Amino acid sequence: MSATTERPRLAVGRIGERLPREDAVPKVTGEFSYASDLSTPGMLWGDTLRSPHAHARVVSIDVTAALGLPGIHGALTHEDVPGKKLYGLEFADQPVLAIDRVRYVGEPVALVVAEHPEQARRALEAIVVEYEPLEPVVDMERALEQEPLHPDRPTMGHGYRDDRRPNVVRHLVIRHGDPDIAGDVVVTGTYELGIQDQAFLGPESGLAIPDGEGGVDIHVATQWLHVDRDQVAPCLDLRPEQVRLHLSGVGGSFGGREDLSMQIHSALLALHTGRPVKMVYDRAESFTGHVHRHPARIRCEHRATRDGRLTSVRMQILLDGGAYASSSTAVASNAASFGLGPYRVDNALIETTAVYTNNPPCGAMRGFGAVQTCFAAEAQMDQLAAELGLDPVELRLLNALEPGDSLPTGQVIEGSLPTREVIRRAAALPVPDQETLPRDPLRLPGGTGNTTTGEGIRRGVGFALGFKNICYSEGFDDFCAARVVLHADGSAVVHSAAAEVGQGVVGVMLQVARTELGTDEVTLAPHTTATVGSAGSTSASRMTWMAAGAVRDACRAALEERERRGGGEVDVERVHRHPRTTPLDPETGQITGERAHVALAVAAMRVVVEVDVELGLTRVVWVGTAQDVGKAVNPLALEGQIEGGTAQGLGLALMEEIVTRNGAIQNASFTDYLIPTALDMPPVEIELVEVPEPDAPYGVKGVGEPPTVVSTAAIVSAMRAATGRPLTRAPVRPDDICL
Amino acid sequence: MAPREIVVRVNGEEYRGSAEPRVTLVDFLRDELGLTGTHVGCEHGVCGACTILMDGRTVRSCLMLAVQAEGHELRTVEGLAPADGPLHPIQEAFSEKHGLQCGFCTPGFLMTVEELLRDDPDPSEETIRSRLSGNICRCTGYQNIVEAVRYAAELTREAAP
């Protein structure tokens, strides 16, 4: 059976060392088994029929013709779902297979299973679905007045503000101090961001294998094995222990694997046929097979004194969540909670609304709500600096949020937040000199596509600051289990369900275990729901903190247990929890306990760009950043996270956008959805600021998201400096920068 | 269409398989020959994850049909280093310099770098970035990949007589 992840190779290393990846060797030799590489004897192939309509009533589905085709072992519709017909990451509002209505282009309608993937594809074409098209809801503002897409209001009654307007997923109002208080100067702006795709390189894939006793094993690339299991089992009408999720190799995730893709579908087909069933999405299907980053429209008004102190901020944030809730409620909370940026503001009114539409569903993507508001808030800070004639860095230092200050939710910051330090360190990085002309066309904006000799180049230097929370918030019971088996010979095995998606948590767990146990003889068991409790999700920059805590606690407990017993083999499991959070008050948006967010991390970034204002092309010349990381567990891996996170922010600033027309994605391929290449991405100069987080194991903080939060804002700031244009929309388009 | 028998040399060994004429080379390598180290990221020649060497030059195995490889000499990531032997200098450099995270794009990068270093044993940063610009990595931001290529060049030059 090849359906297990390669066991990571052993390398020596303790906390704080610069270490190569534990799984580097199998990944460079091609042995590492990604979800799409899985195979097993007798395996069949599943495929998905998807809706061509953004909004339609499903009148009838006829699979008869498909069933008669060669090699076909089954064709399933919603009638074949034995358990619950709806599922969802946080709210069960999404049909496993469309029932009487489809709400987005690409919504799963029927499944087929065949001997060969081509037979499955042909069978999909033979399924006859009669649709009655309905008017799609595609504008996030109009959505609040149109017919409700979910008349049963699935997200209401969960402690959020009860908003009766149609299509509201969540309406969060944070009222802090007296938002009407005057300032000497006022700057306003309306900002927009398009839909960004995670575009992980390894498309969705999974293999479901029936266990012969009514249960099923699902091998899949995911971010959270146990929450997958808890969504899959009820739909199959099985007990959780009858459904075992096993992590296969993950080809990147960035939030896009937090929601289910083919997990339930492959299991349905496997149980229907009694045979293993594999499903693999191609790139076009992947674009509709996972949620995206919310597009946003953000209106801001910032007031300040003449010497630059912010007196009050008003923000109205509108997020298009698309057809299903996914994690929109939490994205809305983050957008609001971190909307002001890491600045001390005593008076604020922040109103966030996430809506249902018939656009592609949106949910988690690296930065999660904070990316969108950072773009708006930092543009406002630059505008304010210009209005006041102040240096943008000085303005940020003057207003910097630090421990002892309050967030607009009333939460007093008690952990580490070295905002001034990251500003100073990033601002002190020397900016490279302007390169002379003429020069190698590769070093012109647009590269060899630039047909000039650089006459239209304008240089700009920008600066931005961004922050967000670490770990889950608002009262969520966020925990992580780890199990440690100490053998009599002194070696140890760590069991954890923490999903390694490329970020390097495997290395973190081994570093912790080796440090705690004082031995190099530590290995990791495969990640699975079968042998250990939930690790929680690889998201919200939480996995390093939570897995380090769980492995540390389990190691210490194992050593104590061995001491107590006087030797022999011990096997202990421990659950780590971070300090409890409490919900926000649904009416005021204020905290109801000490904190709604556990911890915060801040990053500052300085950027140099060259914009060719004749051709509308941009080259990011240089990026320097300082990031608050708590404690660097493996600085080599951490720098890789910062560089990669910055590249994704560069993509959102300059080129990445899912374009829709009447709800349908127009560019579901890597030809039409552009991703930064090695020529687009400059080297990143990095300063790590280590101020330990008091509540976290070893003082760590998550590091994956802050670079993505800050980089879009910083790059567009530099482009504004180069062009003098307001540039209120990301990604910036060539037309926006042609002077 | 009826399957055709295809004989190719892959990593120095002769492989016989059968495929319909419309089957892409990457599907043939992965599904028919079981060489899953070559990955499929976009299916239309943009991302470079499926890059292999044919008669020593890089090709996108998702843009070729298996029947076009008949009689040719192919090299995939599995053939970079001997099984159970030491890593190839490019593999060693990518491991050492953290030139990968999720690793899905890595085999395609390694094969591109193999060709690059044969053409230019001491490439400038510009050359490296230019030659790698047909391979997409979503995780690293390319910095450590560029570092890894420089280090691989160094290791290769040191190993050469």
- What totals of helices (H) and strands (E) does chain A contain, helices first? 15, 28
Residues A28 and A110 in one domain: no
Residues A241 and A285 in one domain: yes
User: Which CATH architecture best describes the domain B89-159?
Assistant: Orthogonal Bundle (1.10)
Separation between Cα atoms, residue A245 and residue A529, nearest integer Å: 5
**In the predicted structure, residue A1 carries a pLDDT above the cut 70:** no
Q: Could you tell me if residue A626 is inside a domain?
A: no
Q: Which residues are within 8 A (CB) of A628 and not within 5 positions of it... i.e. 6 or more apart? A: A416, A417, A418, A419, A421, A422, A601, A602, A603, A689, A691, A701, A706
Residues of A in contact with B42 (CB under 8 A): 283, 669-670
**Confidence (pLDDT) at B87:** 96
pLDDT interval class at B34 (50, 70, 90): very high
Which residues in A629-678 belong to E strands, given as ranges? 660-661, 664-665
Shortest alpha-carbon distance between residue A438 and chain B (Å): 16
Q: Could you tell me if residue A656 is inside a domain?
A: no
Q: Which residues are within 8 A (CB) of A477 and not within 5 positions of it... i.e. 6 or more apart? A: A577
User: Under an 8 A CB cutoff, do A29 and B141 touch?
Assistant: no
- Where b means 16+ CB within 10 Å and e means fewer, A242-266 reads bbbbbbbbbbbbbbbbbbbbbbbbb
Q: What is the pLDDT of residues B87-130, one digit of tens each?
A: 999 999 999 999 999 999 999 999 999 999 999 999 999 999 99
Determine the structural domain holding residue A265 and report its residue range.
37-134+203-250+257-289
pLDDT interval class at B85 (50, 70, 90): confident
**In the predicted structure, residue B161 carries a pLDDT above the cut 80:** no
Separation between Cα atoms, residue A255 and residue A520, nearest integer Å: 33
Residues A509 and A521 in one domain: yes
Per the CB < 8 A criterion, the answer to whether B81 and B130 are in contact is no
Residue B153: what residue type? A
- Which token pair is A324? 């299903």
- What totals of helices (H) and strands (E) does chain B contain, helices first? 5, 5
Residues of B in contact with A502 (CB under 8 A): 101-103, 139
Domain stops at, among A242, A269, A289: A289
In chain B, CATH 1.10.150.120 covers: 89-159
Domain stops at, among A524, A543, A577: A577
Q: What is the pLDDT of residues A496-547, one digit of tens each?
A: 999 999 999 999 999 999 999 999 999 999 999 999 999 999 999 999 999 9
User: Under an 8 A CB cutoff, do A670 and B42 touch?
Assistant: yes
Q: Could you tell me if residue A730 is inside a domain?
A: no
Residues A28 and A45 in one domain: no
CB distance from B115 to chain A under 8 Å?
A: no
Residue of A77, A131, A76 whose CA lies nearest to A99: A77
Domains identified in chain A, total number: 2
In the DSSP assignment, the letter for residue A367 is T
CATH number at residue A483: 3.30.365.10
- Quote the mean pLDDT of chain A: 96
For the residues of A673-718, what is the DSSP string, one character each? S----TTT---EEEEEE----TTSGGG----SSHHHHHHHHHHHHH
**In the predicted structure, residue A255 carries a pLDDT above the cut 90:** yes
- Quote the mean pLDDT of chain B: 96
B100, closest residue in chain A (CA to CA):
A24
CB distance from B36 to chain A under 8 Å?
A: yes
| 3-state SS track over A529-540 | CCCCCCCCCCCC
**Confidence (pLDDT) at A10:** 43
Separation between Cα atoms, residue A229 and residue A240, nearest integer Å: 6
Residues A28 and A54 in one domain: no
Separation between Cα atoms, residue A462 and residue A351, nearest integer Å: 28
Q: Which of B40, B44, B130 sits opposite A442 (nearest CB)?
A: B130
**In the predicted structure, residue A291 carries a pLDDT above the cut 70:** yes
CATH number at residue A59: 3.90.1170.50
| 3-state SS track over A295-362 | CEEEEEEEEECCCCCEEEEEEEEEEECCCCCCCHHHHHHHHHHCCCCCECCCCEEEEEEEECCCCCCE
User: Under an 8 A CB cutoff, do B138 and A683 touch?
Assistant: no
User: Under an 8 A CB cutoff, do A675 and B91 touch?
Assistant: no
Q: Which residues are within 8 A (CB) of A36 and not within 5 positions of it... i.e. 6 or more apart? A: A202, A203, A205, A251, A280, B39, B40
Separation between Cα atoms, residue A513 and residue A22, nearest integer Å: 14
Residues A29 and A112 in one domain: no
pLDDT interval class at A11 (50, 70, 90): low
Q: Which of A21, A36, A200 sits opposite B138 (nearest CB)?
A: A200
In chain B, CATH 3.10.20.30 covers: 4-79
Residue of A655, A624, A653, A657 whose CA lies nearest to A715: A653
CB distance from B60 to chain A under 8 Å?
A: no
Residues A44 and A119 in one domain: yes
pLDDT interval class at A436 (50, 70, 90): very high
Burial (Cβ within 10 Å: 0-12, 13-18, ≥19) of residue A185: middle
Residues A29 and A78 in one domain: no
Compute the count of residue pairs across chains A and B with CB atoms less than 8 Å apart: 176
**Confidence (pLDDT) at B160:** 80
Per the CB < 8 A criterion, the answer to whether A510 and A13 are in contact is yes
A686, closest residue in chain B (CA to CA):
B143
pLDDT interval class at A12 (50, 70, 90): low
pLDDT interval class at A426 (50, 70, 90): very high
Contacting B residues, span 67-106, partner chain A, CB-CB under 8 Å: 76-78, 80-81, 87, 91, 94-96, 98, 100-106
**In the predicted structure, residue A478 carries a pLDDT above the cut 70:** yes
CA angle centred on B15, ends B12 and B19, rounded to 5°: 140
Shortest alpha-carbon distance between residue A644 and chain B (Å): 4
In the DSSP assignment, the letter for residue B139 is S
User: Under an 8 A CB cutoff, do A202 and B133 touch?
Assistant: no
Q: Could you tell me if residue A43 is inside a domain?
A: yes
In the DSSP assignment, the letter for residue A143 is G
What's this model's pTM, rounded to 2 decimal places? 0.97
**How confident is the model over B13-41, as a mean pLDDT?**
96
Tell the CATH topology of B4-79.
Ubiquitin-like (UB roll) (3.10.20)
**How confident is the model over A261-281, as a mean pLDDT?**
98
Q: Could you tell me if residue A377 is inside a domain?
A: no
Residue of A252, A2, A37 whose CA lies nearest to B102: A252
Q: Are strands A599-612 and A522-524 parallel, antiparallel or unpaired?
A: unpaired
Separation between Cα atoms, residue A703 and residue A541, nearest integer Å: 6
Residues A43 and A72 in one domain: yes
Separation between Cα atoms, residue A187 and residue A379, nearest integer Å: 10
User: Under an 8 A CB cutoff, do A678 and B43 touch?
Assistant: no
For the residues of A394-439, what is the DSSP string, one character each? HHHHHHB--TTSB-TTSPBP-S---HHHHHHHHHHSPPPPPPPSS-
For the residues of B39-106, what is the DSSP string, one character each? --SSSSSSS-TTEEEETTEEEETTSSBGGGGTT-EEE-GGGSS-TTSPPPHHHHHHHHTT--SS-SSH
Residues A218 and A120 in one domain: yes
**Residue for token pair 């083999």:** A569
Per the CB < 8 A criterion, the answer to whether A610 and A458 are in contact is yes
A635 preceded by a cis bond (ω within 30 of 0):
no
Strand, coil or helix: what is A254? coil
Separation between Cα atoms, residue B127 and residue B120, nearest integer Å: 9
